[in-house]
Structure 1
Amino acid sequence: MPKGSNQKFKLYRLAQIMLEKTDEDHYISMPEIKDALAEYDVTADRKSIYNDLRDLSVLGVEVEGEPVGNRYHYHVINRTFELPELKLLVDAIQSSKFITEKKSNALIKKLETLVSRYDAQKLQRQVYVSGRIKTMNESIYYTVDAIHHAISENKKIKFQYFQWNVKKEMELRHNGAWYHISPWGLSWDDENYYLVGYDSDAGMIKHYRVDKMLHIKMSDEVREGKEHFKKLNMAEYAKKSFGMFGGKEQTVKLRVHNKLAGVIIDRFGKNVIMIPTDEEHFNVNVDVHVSRQFLGWVFSLGEDIKIVGPDEVVEQMRREIERLGKVYCKENKAEE
Structure 2
Amino acid sequence: MTRTRILAIINCLSTYSSKDEPITLYKIRGILKLEYGLDLTDKMIRKELNYLQSAESSHQVVKGRNKDNYRENVYFLKDAAFQVHELRYLMDAVSAARFISPPETAQLIYKLRGLTDELTSKRLANELVLSEGKVTIKHFAENIQTLHEAIRAKRCVKFQYGRYNVDKEFVLSREGGFYEVIPLGVVWSQEYYYLITQDREKEKIIQYRIDRMSNVSKTEDTFSPIPGFNLKNHVADLFNMFSGEKGSIAIEFDHHLINVVIDRFGIDARIKKISDTRFLLETEGIVSDGLVRWLLTWGADAKAVRPAELVKKMKKEVERYQGMYT
TM, length-normalised to structure 1 = 0.87
Q: Whole-Å Cα distance in 2 between the matches of residues 296 and 261 of structure 1?
A: 18
Structure 2 spans left out of the alignment, 5+ residues: none
Q: 2:39 aligns with which of 30, 36, 43?
A: 43
Which residue of the partner structure matches residue 301 of structure 2?
304
Determine which structure has the larger helix proportion and give its number: 1
Which residue of the partner structure matches residue 333 of structure 1?
none
Which residue of the partner structure matches residue 21 of structure 1?
16
Q: Mark the CA change 1:254 to 1:131 in structure 2 (over 3 Å): closer, same or farther.
A: closer
- Is residue 107 of structure 2 the alignment partner of residue 111 of structure 1? no
Q: Which amino acid aligns with 2:198?
A: Y
Q: Whole-Å Cα distance in 2 between the matches of residues 120 and 131 of structure 1?
A: 24
Q: Give the 5 Å matches for 1:117-136.
A: 117-127=118-128, 129-136=129-136
Q: Whole-Å Cα distance in 1 between the matches of residues 42 and 132 of structure 2?
A: 51
Q: Which amino acid aligns with 2:291?
A: F
Which residue of the partner structure matches residue 159 of structure 1?
159
Question: CA-to-partner distance for each residue in 1:262-288, whole Å, 9 max, x for gaps?
Answer: 111111122221111122221111222
- Which secondary structure does the structure 1 equivalent of 2:126 belong to? helix
- Which secondary structure does the structure 2 equivalent of 1:94 belong to? helix
- Which secondary structure does the structure 2 equivalent of 1:108 belong to? helix
Question: CA-to-partner distance for each residue in 1:281-318, whole Å, 9 max, x for gaps?
Answer: 21111222222221111111122211122233212211
Q: Give the 5 Å matches for 1:1-336.
A: 9-39=4-34, 40-56=36-52, 58-67=57-66, 68-127=69-128, 129-223=129-223, 226-227=225-226, 230-329=227-326
Q: Mark the CA change 1:147 to 1:255 in structure 2 (over 3 Å): closer, same or farther.
A: same
TM, length-normalised to structure 2 = 0.90
Q: Whole-Å Cα distance in 2 between the matches of residues 237 and 296 of structure 1?
A: 19
Deviation at 1:49, TM superposition (A): 0.9
Using the TM superposition, name which of 105-114 and 18-27 deviates more: 105-114
Question: CA-to-partner distance for each residue in 1:88-138, whole Å, 9 max, x for gaps?
Answer: 2222222223333333222222221222111112222124x3243233215
Q: Whole-Å Cα distance in 1 between the matches of residues 63 and 211 of structure 2?
A: 47
The 8 Å contact of residues 155 and 182 in structure 1, kept in 2 or not, is answered as: yes
Q: Mark the CA change 1:7 to 1:53 in structure 2 (over 3 Å): closer, same or farther.
A: closer
Q: Whole-Å Cα distance in 2 between the matches of residues 204 and 319 of structure 1?
A: 25
Deviation at 1:165, TM superposition (A): 2.9
Q: Which amino acid aligns with 1:168?
A: K
Structure 1 spans left out of the alignment, 5+ residues: 1-5, 330-336
Deviation at 1:239, TM superposition (A): 2.2
Q: Which amino acid aligns with 1:66?
A: R
Q: Which amino acid aligns with 2:7?
A: Y
Q: Mark the CA change 1:56 to 1:146 in structure 2 (over 3 Å): closer, same or farther.
A: farther
Deviation at 1:26, TM superposition (A): 1.3
Deviation at 1:217, TM superposition (A): 1.4
Q: Which amino acid aligns with 2:136?
A: M
Q: Whole-Å Cα distance in 1 between the matches of residues 191 and 237 of structure 2?
A: 16
Q: Which amino acid aligns with 2:79?
A: N
Q: Mark the CA change 1:54 to 1:181 in structure 2 (over 3 Å): closer, same or farther.
A: farther
Q: How many residues were matched structurally? A: 320
Q: Which amino acid aligns with 1:11?
A: I
Deviation at 1:156, TM superposition (A): 0.8
Q: Whole-Å Cα distance in 2 between the matches of residues 204 and 265 of structure 1?
A: 29
Give the RMSD, CA atoms, in angstroms.
2.2
